[in-house]
Amino acid sequence: MSTNTAPADLYRRGLQLLLDKDIPAWVGLWDEDGILEFPFAPEGWPKRLEGRTAIAEYMRGYPDHIDMHDFPDVEIHQTLAPETIVVEMRGVGRLVDTDSPFDMTYIAVVTVKDGLMTSYRDYWNPLAVQDPATHFAGSNR
């Protein structure tokens, strides 16, 4: 990834990689010391992942649990800090285990330095996924 990649371009590339189910390439968009946070994570779910290795472990089971079809609504807002964006988006697909629809809205605050994500705070709604069995994190399965 180019070191001059704009945060919005990097983020959109990441969404495409998730749709392509290319988790190793998505993890490759992260800085070695990147931090992924889930401020609204329910009890028993990770609230903070530190480092690319922890993020890779968390995401490795993603395609086995969520079959993401589209991100139909993505709005990326630039902040006063050029390396930080705020993203409002919606992801739709299906939960693989139950074949039930998956439809989640997110707000994310993402910081990119030297062409890699260094910080990602994912403000998703835990009430939309009541059953912890639908959680895809490799460390919780």
Domain map of the chain by residue range? Answer: 7-140
Taken in order 52, 93, 121, 116, is the CA torsion positive or negative?
positive
CATH 3.40.1360.10 is held by the domain 7-140: no
For the record, the structure tokens of 21 come out as: 């189910």
For the record, the structure tokens of 132 come out as: 């912890």
For the record, the structure tokens of 12 come out as: 């959109």
Where does the chain have alpha helices with state H? 7-19, 23-27, 52-59, 62-65
What's the pLDDT tens digit per position in 97-141? 999 999 999 999 999 999 999 999 999 887 766 554 444 444 333
Distance CA 129, CA 78 (A): 29
pLDDT attached to residue 138: 42
Q: How far apart are the first and last CA of the chain?
A: 31
Confidence (pTM): 0.86
